[in-house]
Amino acid sequence: MKVGFKTLTIVELPLAQVQLDVDAKNGLVEQQLSANAYSGNAREKATLDARGNTAFIRFDVNAQGIEVAPILKDKKLDKNLHLSGAIKVVAQGQASGTTKNQIMESLLADVNFSGAKMQLAPINIEQQFCKFIALVNRTEAPEQTWNTYTELRDVAGKIHMEKRVVTIENVTAGVEKLSLGTKGFIDLGKGGYDFMFPLKLVRDANDTPSSITTSAKGCTVTSNYWAERSMTLLRCKGAYAQINPAQDCRPDKELLVELTKDYAEFKIKEKHGAKLEAKKEELMKKLDDKLGGEGKAEKAKDLLKNLLKKKDDK
């Protein structure tokens, strides 16, 4: 059976120019659907096996040029979160049950998506990175006018859904000279979400060994510690239905303490490392002389380490 619809709404999402092809036989239903959606197009293949006591559903979706902003608007998630740009989506999934709740509880799905350019508001991730660096360095953040949004490029990600929990397994994007990652989850059952945002500052030909900028209009860091190092600086946590990056996103306190400590140790080694290493070599040489020859101190250290390990094992 082939059916055409000028417009059709599925799960509160409007489709246009819908072409539906259904083949049903002895409780096995095979369906193919193509439609225009949100300035793009989507194709779906699904199989419904109702030959047993429980229906089993399997589906594949391939969509291109899908605009994100109107989807958020239709789902009423655009009050505090603004995400725009077109994406490509490839999804596979399965579910089983006899009621809508059973099907949602059993739903397993994997989604891969990508987009060349997107915009996220109202948060500027580069600004947050610069504020964090200033906080760790105990200096004033640079006084400048920042955009109230983040331009994302080369966006790609993978999402897994199971038991009403959407797990963000890996999302990557470029933000000026920052490489952004995202990991976290959305708990549809409990209504909460928790995202972590690892960031890495990437060098380019315009940087010097002692000076790295986040962008032409961004901030400058003067320590190699911040270059090419992946750091989870930002955490967004709150209610899924009221996602609000301006309020939900803050530097993670535990990670801030850990990173501040690590940075302080780096600065000490950077300033006094050569002296400490020379002092260590001097002490080892003296210990060698007392123990009767070169390398005796290192052997004594290894012997002591092995004895302590055997004691711990016992």
49-58, 154-163, 169-178, 286-295 — which is least confidently predicted? 286-295
Alpha-helical segments (H) within 94-190: 100-106, 125-137
What's the pLDDT band for 281 if we cut at 50, 70, 90? low
Domain ranges across the chain: 1-106, 110-251, 272-313
In this prediction, residue 296 carries a pLDDT of: 53
CA distance 268 to 242: 44
For 78-100, what is the mean pLDDT?
93
pLDDT at 206: 87
Distance CA 72, CA 275 (A): 58
Return the SS3 of 278.
helix
Residue 266's pLDDT is what? 84
Percent share of the chain, pLDDT over 70? 86
SS3 of residue 80 by DSSP: coil
Q: In whole numbers, what is the pLDDT of the chain averaged over residues?
A: 85
304 has a pLDDT exceeding 60 = no
Q: Is the peptide bond before 251 cis (omega within 30 degrees of 0)?
A: no
pLDDT of 213 reads 92
Strand ranges, E, within 176-313 = 178-187, 192-201, 212-213, 220-221, 231-239, 249-251
Q: Mean pLDDT, to the nearest integer, of 286-299? A: 57
Q: Work out the pLDDT band at 155, boundaries 50, 70, 90.
A: very high
Predicted confidence band at 141 (pLDDT cuts at 50, 70, 90)? confident
